[in-house]
A and B are shown apart, each in its own frame.
Chain A
Amino acid sequence: MRHLLSASDLDLSQAVLILDTAAQMAATQAREIKKLPTLRGRTVVNLFFEDSTRTRISFETAAKRLSADVINFSAKGSSVSKGESLKDTALTLQAMGADAVVIRHQSSGAPHTLARAGWTDGAVVNAGDGMHQHPTQALLDAYTLRRHLVGDRGRADATGRDLAGVHVAIVGDVLHSRVARSNVQLLRTLGARVTLVAPPTLVPVGVDAWPAEVSYDLDDVLTTGPDAVMMLRVQRERMSSAGGGFFPSPLEYTRGYGLDARRLAMLPDHAVVLHPGPMNRGLEISADAADSPRAVIVEQVANGVAVRMAVLYLLLAGGEQAGRTTEGRADARTDETRVHA
């Protein structure tokens, strides 16, 4: 694995490896000493063209817990806001010696451009590109789901397991959501079944090609007893004419597609509620639902650090040939028989 640009980059064994590694990282984060020396001497650059304190802090924490040096580069107040191009920014970072560039950008495909163009030698991690992908979000969602649904809320060992048989409903603005795109792909890779629920205006033309069912009726889908409901954030601006007029009013949206106490009660006992954050309390999710014991939203954030530690470890810790072989099993050779230089 050379870069992590899209959930579709991962096959089943790679996805499970990341989840298992995340579990190991999570274990270290439960200790008093949370810091590990593993990525000492490596430099991770957070290249955030879009504002996102939460995700940036999550990546920063992950990198620092592995003893990597972190450089934060945010668009505001930097040369980027004065019109410096992605290319020139990347070349500057390369000159600083970035081993990994974590990039969040408003344009779909910017991480691919960065990875392909040869402006940086480092590993590229997509922290969210436009409406396209947010693979680490999907990974932390999958990790959370696995921990609860397969690992019995952490009481059972889920190592090596996938999400076969799990039914997830993803509700909200699918059309504009990179979280939805990444989750549909990753959940499918892990063997889960996905139902997308949205008003027809917020589902893309071409969704028929996706490995997911589509429904316009949330109550209908909830009666089928999904194991998890993932609520997507909906932007109020999209309801205005200038924003595209996708929906007549917030109230109509909430009535049709909001998760409230009544809908929560329709879920089976074991079902969990996820949200990538930040939440619009009262719009796509009510306060009752957000604060209920079924909601694992706060845990998602904690899991985000462990998952990002796992991703950085798997991309950076190995040598030049690391990209080609990451077998999902313990190295079979005796540790000490390697000849050291």
Chain B
Amino acid sequence: MSTRTPASGSGRPPQDPAAPPDPRLDPMGAPSGTTVLGPDDVARALTRIAHEVVERNKGVDDVVLLGIPTRGLPLARRLAQRLAQVEQVPVDGLVGSLDVTMHRDDLAHQPTRTIGDTYVPGAGIDGKVVVLVDDVLYSGRTIRAALDAISDLGRPRAVQLAVLVDRGHRELPIRADYVGKNLPTATAERVRVLLAEIDGEDRVVIEGTGR
């Protein structure tokens, strides 16, 4: 079992969630559709997930949250804050980001994507429990790419997955360990997650049908 040297991305720790929205991230236009989660729902879901993480891993020793850009990142930070509060540990060592763009299998079918930051806190991920954090789980391909990206960074003891919304329609054998809300959807529908850090408010909306 090789122990790999800690990997770091551009070397920056994640931003303070209380800071104003990152101007480089483009908020989406106003959504139209049915709101299925409001701000309070989102907050409660995250709190519950935090407690589940603690319970399942018997504390947060050796736990590292890696948020998948774009919106997995602020979710990861918020989870990290809750974990820090519950377990009375510093936030900084708990959370990082994992950009999966370069490991995706569908790059050729879309316009070129900008590459986001990859940052792993502390001593890396070898032997740790990595909890991937993303906003929506759908086909599972993003998570597959994330698993590939993780294997370039080190060898964790285990990898778990936390998502705010699971909308079904998996194309790969991937499942989430922690789910904010299960949301059965039709493929024609579109699930949009808005977060205060990026979009100015917390909301989950389903668009595209007469719901």
Quick check: do A and B touch in the complex, using CB within 8 A?
A: yes
Known: A30-B8, A37-B102, A38-B103. A160 touches B111 (CB 8 A): no
Partner-binding segment picked from B50-58, B81-89, B114-122 = B114-122
Instruction: Return A126 CB to nearest CB of chain B, in Å.
Output: 19
> Which residues of chain B are within 8 angstroms of A31 by Cβ–Cβ distance?
5, 7, 152-153
> Which residues of chain A are within 8 angstroms of B10 by Cβ–Cβ distance?
23-24, 27, 157, 159
Q: By the criterion CB–CB under 8 Å, are A27 and B118 in contact?
A: yes
Q: By the criterion CB–CB under 8 Å, are B24 and A317 in contact?
A: no
Q: How far is the CA of A336 from the CA of B189 in the complex (A)?
A: 12
Q: By the criterion CB–CB under 8 Å, are B191 and A334 in contact?
A: yes
Answer yes or no: A269 CB below 8 A from chain B CBs. Answer: no
Q: Which residue of B lies closest to A158 (CB)?
A: B10
Answer yes or no: A220 CB below 8 A from chain B CBs. Answer: no
Q: Which residue of B lies closest to A325 (CB)?
A: B111
Contact residues, A303-341 vs B (CB, 8 A): 313-314, 317-319, 321-322, 324-341
Q: How far is the CA of A23 from the CA of B24 in the complex (A)?
A: 16
Q: By the criterion CB–CB under 8 Å, are A336 and B167 in contact?
A: yes
Question: Which residue of A35, A333, A340 has the most chain B CB atoms within 10 A of its CB atom?
Answer: A340
Question: Which residue of B111, B116, B190 has the most chain A CB atoms within 10 A of its CB atom?
Answer: B111
Which one, B71, B99, B142, B187, contacts A24 given CB within 8 A?
Answer: B99
Q: By the criterion CB–CB under 8 Å, are A339 and B187 in contact?
A: yes
Answer yes or no: B197 CB below 8 A from chain A CBs. Answer: no
Q: By the criterion CB–CB under 8 Å, are B107 and A336 in contact?
A: no
> Which residues of chain B are within 8 angstroms of A17 by Cβ–Cβ distance?
114
Answer yes or no: A208 CB below 8 A from chain B CBs. Answer: no
Q: By the criterion CB–CB under 8 Å, are A335 and B24 in contact?
A: no
Interface residues as binary, B7-28 with A (CB distance below 8 Å gives 1, 0 otherwise): 1111110000000000011111
Q: How far is the CA of A338 from the CA of B104 in the complex (A)?
A: 13
Contact residues, A99-154 vs B (CB, 8 A): none
Known: A23-B10, A336-B167. A318 touches B113 (CB 8 A): yes
Answer yes or no: B138 CB below 8 A from chain A CBs. Answer: yes
Answer yes or no: A209 CB below 8 A from chain B CBs. Answer: no
Answer yes or no: A28 CB below 8 A from chain B CBs. Answer: yes
Instruction: Return A159 CB to nearest CB of chain B, in Å.
Output: 7
Instruction: Return B7 CB to nearest CB of chain A, in Å.
Output: 5
Q: By the criterion CB–CB under 8 Å, are A337 and B190 in contact?
A: yes
Answer yes or no: B94 CB below 8 A from chain A CBs. Answer: no
Q: By the criterion CB–CB under 8 Å, are A33 and B152 in contact?
A: yes
Q: By the criterion CB–CB under 8 Å, are B110 and A319 in contact?
A: yes
A positions within 8 Å CB-CB of B: 17, 20-21, 23-25, 27-28, 30-33, 35-38, 66, 157, 159-160, 313-314, 317-319, 321-322, 324-341
15 A-B contacts (beta carbon < 8 Å): A23-B10, A35-B152, A37-B102, A313-B102, A318-B112, A319-B110, A324-B111, A325-B112, A331-B114, A334-B192, A335-B136, A336-B191, A338-B110, A340-B141, A341-B109
A-B pairs, 5 with minimum CB distance: A318-B112, A336-B138, A38-B102, A336-B136, A24-B115
Sample of 4 more A-B contacts, CB < 8 Å, known A327-B26, A331-B113, A336-B138: A20-B115, A317-B113, A326-B112, A332-B70
